[in-house]
Structure 1
Amino acid sequence: MNVSRIFIRKYSLLPNLKPLNILFFGSDTFSVQSFEALQKLRTTAIPGTNLPYVDRIQIVTKPGKWCGRDKSTFKETAIAIASKKVPNVPLIECDNMKDLMGLTDVVTKNNINTLIAVSYGKLIPDQLIKTVPYCMNVHPSLLPRYKGASPIQYSLLNKDKYTGVTIQSLHPTKFDCGEVISQTELLSIVQLLELPSSKNRNMELPLNTSKLTDQLGIKGGEMLQNVITNGLYLAGMHNNPVKPGIKPSFAPRISNEMKRIIWATEDAKTILNKKDVLGPVYTYINCRPVTKKKQRGSANSTQEFTKRIIIHDFSVIDNTNNTISDHLKPGSFKYSTEMGKLLIKAYGPTLLAVDTLQFEGFAKETAEMFINRLHKRGGSTDIEKANFV
């Protein structure tokens, strides 16, 4: 039996693949996972040829920014940092629509035939999409669920059991409205959070958001390799329709207001989940300045004012022993000298046991330091009757 013939027949069912010259749009560590997956295809030959699946990659990302106090730290995107570690990967910075439109010349001069966008954060213009035969987007949800900028955070906030990754075409006028090319199976969020982290995990993100972004990034990179090596991006080759039962929903950009604790409805576990997804949460406390002799024409010196309190580190404990009276409303608090923690009553039979927090305008501090300084900062606030709002 002729072995070479068997080899050719085995791969004759595959479409006629040609090397891809890719313009890759990315920003964060989720996009780095897809970029590294594409890099591996630069050294993997299309069966029956000596040509690689991916010939060239050029990166498009947002410009770096000066951050921190006095703008003393220059911060580049994760994809920019990753690209500089790989030879022969040009980096292009685009900050607005005019810059993006200028990429049509790059496409023409470099024979780009594929656009791939992964967590880029800007809409790729229709005029640019029309210059290439293939375009793809890797999105960390099972579309049409969680269209938008924050699918990972919403899946965690809503305590979904499952999530996944979708590869779709790029829609010329809307985010996440392209034709689905491929989707993962339903992936257990609990199991994903238990998997070991990759080297690309962003430790600056909140705990669970960091873990899930990392794992879905890995899955997205693997699926992108599968789509390319099997030619699923070609017309008529899409093999994985939208999962049944997935209802359309949106995951808009996370706002700072979402980090506020709603004492009347949120139990301690919900607040802890919010912190692990969005980062430190916050609340407010009503303060009243110490009464001073009123000067003619001055405002009332006893008028209340509100200060923000950021709660950084805490755990959840039961209130079954009535540590804080059930008769008190959620948001009531007291300091436990035995535990060295500030105990805050949440909705239901649970408490927040706070280790560190931050009074507006001051540095992060321990619960003991916070309670000792509260009277001075809060003026004539009655600490025994005070509560967060």
Structure 2
Amino acid sequence: MRHVPFFRWVLTLGFVLFACSVGLYAAGSDLPEARQIDLTVLDEKPDGSCRVRWIDPYQKRAREASYQCDPGRSALLKAPQYSDSRGYGWESGFMLTEGPDRGNLEDLTAESDLGYADVFLLLGVLLVALGLIGGNLRALPRVLGVEARLIRRATRLSEAAEWAAEDYEQAVVAVREAGRHGVLSQASDAGPDARLVTALWLLREAGPRARETAALGRKLTSQLHGLLDDAAPAAGVRSMLHAGPRARGHAAQAVAELRLLLTDAELNGLPERFAQTSVDLLRGQDGDLAALAAATDFAQDPSPYRQLLVQLTLPEPAVVPARTTCPHRGRRRRRRPRLPFGTSRRGR
């Protein structure tokens, strides 16, 4: 089921109504023009009801009418404090300057009805607020499911395991290739024998657990690849927002499995073990020093080299991964190119 952006459409409709309201306000209303004039307050009550007098320039005479004055204005503008010898007060108002009612006072209390611009403005503001609040509340559970730091840790662990396994495989391939053209003897100082001794010395330096570490690396890499593909939507806020409910469900399950795998791997010291194995297997990058050290060590004790060569000629036990490739996985992971033995890897 794909995500339906309901609140996004609500927000869009709110902005459209808001724009219509602004357009109506910009186009102007049907109210006639008016200008502000001075009013003489003849009589005033405490609630602001008063009777005022003004000069009508169109009828060229003084006129009187009822008006709603501002009861909160300063007491100095009211009678008898206002500086008028006749004891009147002062107020200001608006007189219509066009239409059949020009010369009359504008009745501000009668303008209580809402126009189209006001209705569009209120509806637009309500829809914009609903779209923003509802959209954020709807996106909150998806944003809370983001586990970017966990995904990065799992990716680093997968890369370290893959590098350790590939480095060991390259070292074994180097031994087997060199073993086709040379044999181990007491005088292995040049030619194919030197290459074979150097390759075996490299594996001896990596330690007896290198083979087990490489097998663990292959197994863990197979597990992490599938889980990382499933947990891809949880790697960031943007990817989580664009993922559907089914993809988010798979991502939540994959994140839970990744957390268990990472906890177990860190408790067993697998990240450090993979890194140390890769470092030990990369000692053969300096070919001259490695060949000299290998020849010296082989001359002192050649028996472990022969035993190791016999072990490497035996087929390795197959490692069955604990988790197969997920059927709904859609991405292909980038594999690191295999380098020949003795060459350096940049960027490690």
- TM-score, with length taken from structure 1: 0.18
For normalisation by structure 2, the TM-score amounts to 0.19
Question: Max radius of gyration: which structure?
Answer: 2
More helix by share: 2
Which structure has the highest strand share of the two? 1
Bigger RCO of structures 1 and 2 (CA < 8 A, at least 6 apart) = 2
